[in-house]
Amino acid sequence: MTATHVPHFALSACVALLAAAPPVAGEAPAGAPDAVHVASRLELFVDKHLIGEMRGAEIVLNRLEHAPASPQPGLEAGYTTVLRDGDLFRMYGRGYMVPGAYWKNVGKEAGTLNEITLYAESRDGIHWTRPNLGLFHIDEIDERLLAYAKENNVEPTIEQGNIVMAGEFSVSHNFTPLIDTRPDAAAEARYKAVGGTAYDKALQEKYGPCGMHAFVSADGIHWKRLRKEPIIPGAWGKFDSQNLVFWSPMEKQYVAYFRYFTGGRRAIRRSTSEDFLHWTDPVDVDANLPDEQLYTNNVHPYFRAPHLYVAPATRYIDGQRPNTFVIFMTSRDGVHFDRTFGQEAFKETFGGNRTNYLAWTNGAQTGPKELSFYDHRQNRFTLRLDGFGSIRAGAEGGEMVTRPLRFQGAALHINARAAEGGQVRVELQDADGKPLPGFALADAVPFTGDEIAHAVSWKGGRDLTPLAGKPIHVRFVLNAADLYAIQFE
């Protein structure tokens, strides 16, 4: 795919005007703010956090690409989770004892009782198997489900050997596991999960209080309820979506994101906890654009840069077919989400009712340069490692100058790709925007090719140790190239 074929969203009208101006060597960004402390973190170009000025370049969203067909997990449609667990990939998704018996056609109670959680696994994230676990044998099926099966000539599928959850009212609707990466997490609770929806008083009297219920497991297969009451109470939200929890290395606490309604619109709330049991009062997340509804949130720390939350969320448009679209947003504080790419689609859109959700994942790297994503029907999509967004310039050339940065490390690495005949050159500038001796554009060794972590060099070498801790600007001059990420290390 050539650089000009990827859909994009211009940074701003102001940047568009700047793009028309020719590059000016050594010119400092006007009104330079205080230095951004990037330390030795990997920084992705998915927002404006590091960008000072751009000329002839733009920040773009790179869409997921549909992967070639491969053996699919064979789970049924529903909210899906994919966890990278060492050299094993684990997939969890909603299934049904009686195919087609949903709450809309058999009622809330029977439809919820029909839901189970199915499991598949893979060694490469591409080829999947469904192990015969033999954990559940369902002896009784609700009479309403049996009647539906008879009327519609379908067979109950209660002998599925890859069932890992059944019989917990409302839980399998959106059962979402996580691997607890808290340093002192107990081995018997290394895997945790949440599930549950809101339901009326009569059902609560029969099945217990609604909300987000918690489960723990030592192996990701055998699950037990953490306690009878939900950890997130039903009064805090609506929950009829894929709600999720993760341990945040950035915040050093558990973070939950879940569905609520405000003014008739679907939106996102969050709560935090130090122990997974006691949670702070919910905070409404700043993510929706005006009059926008967000169906799933899909928030997770990017596994290679956990200070950055990425969210390939689902936007919902009532009364339209298709009515769901995957968009992309990010956050650096967990509450305010950047919408640099607006409502641009992050993946191809399939028609139908509520048919475009991505699985929640902790980071499925399936190749040296490849990330994999899965939709709720287990189709696989790929993206360049770190490649959600990029700074892009065409053959006519362009540049981006960062805000002043303070770093730790001895070398600058870039994740970049140059088309045939293209290149990337790097200049380092002082706090006033003047080229530093030995690191001017004329000293730069051009980068050509395609690398995830290319060590930038100049005629005098690549050692940046004398500059560590000092405020500098980094000027990238690109020709027919994309810059995806940078890291001082």
Most distant pair of Cα atoms in the chain: their distance: 81
Q: State the number of CA atoms in the 13 A half-sphere of 180 facing the CB.
A: 25
Question: DSSP secondary structure string, 214-233?
Answer: EEEESSSSS-EES-SS-SEE
| pLDDT tens digits for range 90-148 | 999 999 999 999 999 999 999 999 999 999 999 999 999 999 999 998 778 899 999 99
| Alpha helix segments (H runs only) across 208-357 | none
> Do residues 244 and 297 lie in contact, with contact meaning Cβ atoms separated by under 8 Å?
yes
Quick check: 7 pLDDT over 60?
Answer: no
The secondary element (H helix, E strand) that includes residue 374 is: strand 370-374
**What is the rounded CA–CA span in Å between residue 324 and residue 87?**
33
Radius of gyration of the chain (CA): 25
Domain housing 28:
3-62+389-488
Domain count, the chain: 2
> Do residues 391 and 424 lie in contact, with contact meaning Cβ atoms separated by under 8 Å?
no
The secondary element (H helix, E strand) that includes residue 360 is: strand 360-361
**What is the rounded CA–CA span in Å between residue 207 and residue 212?**
14
User: Helices (H) and strands (E) in the chain — how many of each?
Assistant: 5, 36
**What is the rounded CA–CA span in Å between residue 374 and residue 357?**
9
**384, 409, 437 — which closes off a domain?**
384
Q: Both 295 and 430 in a single domain?
A: no
Give, as one character, the DSSP assignment of residue 442. G
**329, 353, 384 — which closes off a domain?**
384
Confidence of residue 74 (pLDDT cuts 50, 70, 90): confident
Other beta carbons within 10 angstroms of residue 283's beta carbon come to 13
| pLDDT tens digits for range 416-457 | 999 999 999 999 999 999 999 999 999 999 999 999 999 999
Quick check: 194 pLDDT over 80?
Answer: yes
Q: What share of the chain has pLDDT > 90, as a percent?
A: 86
- CATH code, domain with 423: 2.60.120.260
Tokens, residue 46: 């998915």
In the block, which residue shows the tokens 């290319």? 454
**384, 415, 437 — which closes off a domain?**
384
3-state secondary structure of 151: helix
| Alpha helix segments (H runs only) across 156-239 | 201-207
Q: Which of 223, 222, 230, 219 is nearest to 170 (CA)?
A: 230
Q: Both 363 and 445 in a single domain?
A: no
| pLDDT tens digits for range 249-278 | 999 999 999 999 999 999 999 999 999 999
> Do residues 169 and 209 lie in contact, with contact meaning Cβ atoms separated by under 8 Å?
no
Q: Both 440 and 309 in a single domain?
A: no
| pLDDT tens digits for range 359-383 | 999 999 999 999 999 998 889 999 9
Q: Both 420 and 345 in a single domain?
A: no
What average pLDDT is seen over the chain? 92
**What is the rounded CA–CA span in Å between residue 131 and residue 119?**
8
Other beta carbons within 10 angstroms of residue 46's beta carbon come to 26
Q: Both 38 and 91 in a single domain?
A: no
Q: What is the pLDDT of residue 27?
A: 38
Q: What is the pLDDT of residue 33?
A: 58
Q: Both 353 and 411 in a single domain?
A: no
**Is there a cis peptide before residue 322, judged by omega within 30 degrees of 0?**
yes
Handedness of CA 12, 13, 19, 25 (dihedral sign): negative
**What is the rounded CA–CA span in Å between residue 347 and residue 355?**
12
Q: Both 178 and 32 in a single domain?
A: no
Instruction: Beginning with the edge strand found earlier in the chain, give each strand of the sheet holding 300-302 in spatial order.
Output: 300-302, 305-311, 329-331, 337-338
Q: Both 164 and 272 in a single domain?
A: yes
- CATH code, domain with 160: 2.115.10.20
Q: Both 134 and 239 in a single domain?
A: yes
Q: Which of 182, 84, 164, 149 is nearest to 118 (CA)?
A: 164
Q: Both 464 and 352 in a single domain?
A: no
Q: Both 358 and 409 in a single domain?
A: no
Cα 401 to the center of its chain, rounded Å: 27
Q: Both 142 and 270 in a single domain?
A: yes
> Do residues 92 and 59 lie in contact, with contact meaning Cβ atoms separated by under 8 Å?
no
